[in-house]
């Protein structure tokens, strides 16, 4: 099975649907290491985003794995690791 890649643009799109946009900041490379909570996304926003990623990509993220991934970069890495594991 070909491995999909989960990108910052994918995260931005899903986060926007799940929890709305951050006020006054573009969700781009400049915030890839910012803490999601500092950007205005609380634990429920992360939970909802994780649920949508699971549905769209057909993966299962363990409870808490996204809560521990505190930045966009960390979330992308976690999701890509799951996609790689599935493709292997």
Residues that bind other proteins (CB under 8 A): 16-23, 40, 44-45, 47-48, 51, 54-55
Looking at beta carbons only, is 24 or 88 nearer to other proteins? 24
Percent helix, strand and coil across the chain, each rounded to 5?
Answer: 60, 0, 40
Q: Could you tell me the CA-to-CA distances from 43 to 10, 18, 39, 48, 68 in Å, in that order?
A: 19, 12, 12, 9, 10
Q: How far is the CB of 31 from other proteins (least distance, A)?
A: 15
Looking at beta carbons only, is 2 or 23 nearer to other proteins? 23
Q: How far is the CB of 40 from other proteins (least distance, A)?
A: 6
């Amino acid at each position: 099975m070909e491995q999909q890649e989960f990108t910052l643009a994918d995260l931005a799109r899903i986060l926007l649907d799940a929890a709305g946009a951050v006020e006054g900041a573009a969700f781009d490379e400049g915030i890839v290491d910012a803490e999601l909570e500092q950007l205005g996304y609380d634990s429920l926003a992360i939970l909802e985003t994780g649920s949508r990623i699971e549905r769209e990509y057909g993966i299962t993220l363990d409870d808490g794995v996204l809560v521990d991934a505190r930045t966009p970069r960390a979330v992308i890495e976690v999701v890509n690791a799951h996609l790689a594991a599935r493709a292997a």
